[in-house]
Chain A
Amino acid sequence: MFKILKYSFFDLVRSRWSYVYFLFYLLLAATLLFLNNDLSKAVITLMNVIIILVPLIGTIFGVMYFYNSKEFTELLLAQPIKRSSIFIGLYLGVAVSLSMSLLLGIGVPFLLYGLTQSAAIWDFSLLLITGVFLTFIFTGIAFNISLSNENKIKGFGYAIMMWLFLAVIYDGLFLMSLVFFEDYPLDKLSLIGTMLNPIDLSRTLILLKLDISALLGYTGAVFKTFFGTNQGLIISISVLFLWVLFPAIRMVRKSNKKDF
């Protein structure tokens, strides 16, 4: 598995797109910091970008890399290597290299800015951790979608629809259901609703830590009263873990049953 991870990782690190992605974050973080002069505001703006963009990039990269490495997987499948190691290796290769671009792109300007002496370092670390979680989650889901669809165009379409649903449509439906059922107690429902969407969960997690009640919204407030800040943090991180785990497990199962 580690050998495959190594090859797919270096293959991706050499590709142009990793650099584009890295430079984009570098520019974004640098502009935000040096124009804003307020670290926690920069963190919030970054959060809004990361929470939408990281899933999108993870999804697109995951699908693209999977379909592009069809030849590589076919070559590997005839070798004495476990199927699960092949796919987990490829998956980790994509997820790790994307996470690297994210961490370096955002981390470097913040370090240069003198983050280590600032109180915002924990908020900032949490932001990066969530970004890494989201990368792993959405790359995993993208791999699942492409494993289940032989047809590239279909796979790509489903993946983009999945992202659109979780990033945009889900929130709308969620809000509408809250308005529609406002006469009923909605605490539990909204909690479950948040946990079922990794993007919402990440947003709540970061806002809980930043402790900005104005931005927290209904679910965030419920989260806070229900779990308190610390317990809320632990629970949402554990749920994010599950979100990483499930796609990975399904990926192994699916790949073991597939014909190549």
Chain B
Amino acid sequence: MIKVQDLHKKFQKNIVLSGVNLELKESGIYSILGPNGSGKTTLIKSILGMVLPTKGSIKINDKSIKAAWDYRKQIDYLPQIANFPSNLKVKELISMIKDLRGNSKRDKELINLFGVEKFLDKKVGTLSGGMKQKTNIVLAFMFDSPILILDEPTTGLDPVALIHLKELIQKEKERGKLILITSHIMSFVEEITDEIVFLLEGNVHFEGNISELKKQTSEQNFERAIASLLISNHV
């Protein structure tokens, strides 16, 4: 579904991605991991067409995304920091995105699930971090697209919402979606992910599932395995 070939990205002199190759064929949950500044968000934004690659190509369902925009109909995106126009009410924000993207059948269900109805009439600017993230989640899951990209989905969520989110992600996977997640919460990743893509200094450093990772690093604990990936590279 997503094919990234030899992707390079430079911001002025700062090289962020240097030749990323990645092919995600089947549905499932993929986690992009890596230290801060390893290029996770840049990779995601490149797939979304918000960042334009210096070199290389990205194909979604065998179509190049260069200069295209309607492929984004197949992608739902949860941004890392929920930046919304602050003078809108939550209700207005939801109906605006619905108006721009076409109708959604799932918004009510999601609003109930995350308890967003309590602050539907509040302005987005006055919401707490967790409330913003819940709104963010409702907006991202609302459209039922085949590809889901979640950038740090757990930020600011309370335990109940976190459980709901995990269940929701599992359900979406069972319905045959491709889900791409970045997170720094290792327990969350371990619980939920099928495949790991480990980015380091702008390259894919490791690709495989959790047991393969444990075998390669000869660590029993997932968090330590990830840490040892980092440390072994820095020594």
> Which residues of B sit under 8 angstroms from A212, Cβ to Cβ?
none
> Which residues of A sit under 8 angstroms from B51, Cβ to Cβ?
259-260
CB interface residues, A 47-84, toward B, < 8 Å: 69-72, 74-83
Bound-state CA distance A257–B87 (Å) is 29
Q: Is A3 an interface residue (CB 8 A)?
A: yes
Known: A71-B86, A81-B69. A76 touches B48 (CB 8 A): no
CB–CB B69/A74 < 8 A:
no
Q: Mark B16-38, 1 if CB is under 8 A from A, else 0.
A: 00000000000000000000000
Interface size for B (C-beta < 8 A) is 26
Q: Is B89 an interface residue (CB 8 A)?
A: no
CB–CB B85/A260 < 8 A:
no
How many A-B Cβ pairs are below 8 Å? 58
Known: A83-B69, A259-B11. A78 touches B48 (CB 8 A): yes
Q: Is A11 an interface residue (CB 8 A)?
A: yes
Partner of A3, one of B50, B70, B99: B99
CB distance from B15 to the nearest CB of A (A): 14
> Which residues of B sit under 8 angstroms from A258, Cβ to Cβ?
52
CB–CB A82/B69 < 8 A:
yes
Q: Is A7 an interface residue (CB 8 A)?
A: yes
CB–CB B83/A77 < 8 A:
no
CB–CB B50/A78 < 8 A:
yes
> Which residues of B sit under 8 angstroms from A259, Cβ to Cβ?
11, 45, 50-52
Known: A3-B99, A260-B50. A80 touches B79 (CB 8 A): no
CB–CB A80/B73 < 8 A:
yes
Known: A79-B97, A80-B70, A83-B69. A74 touches B85 (CB 8 A): no
CB–CB B79/A257 < 8 A:
no
CB–CB A76/B52 < 8 A:
no
Closest 5 CB pairs of A and B: A71-B83, A80-B72, A80-B73, A78-B77, A72-B85
Known: A83-B69, A259-B51. 16 other contacts (CB 8 A): A11-B87, A70-B83, A71-B86, A74-B50, A75-B97, A77-B48, A77-B50, A78-B50, A78-B75, A78-B79, A79-B101, A80-B73, A80-B101, A259-B45, A260-B50, A260-B51
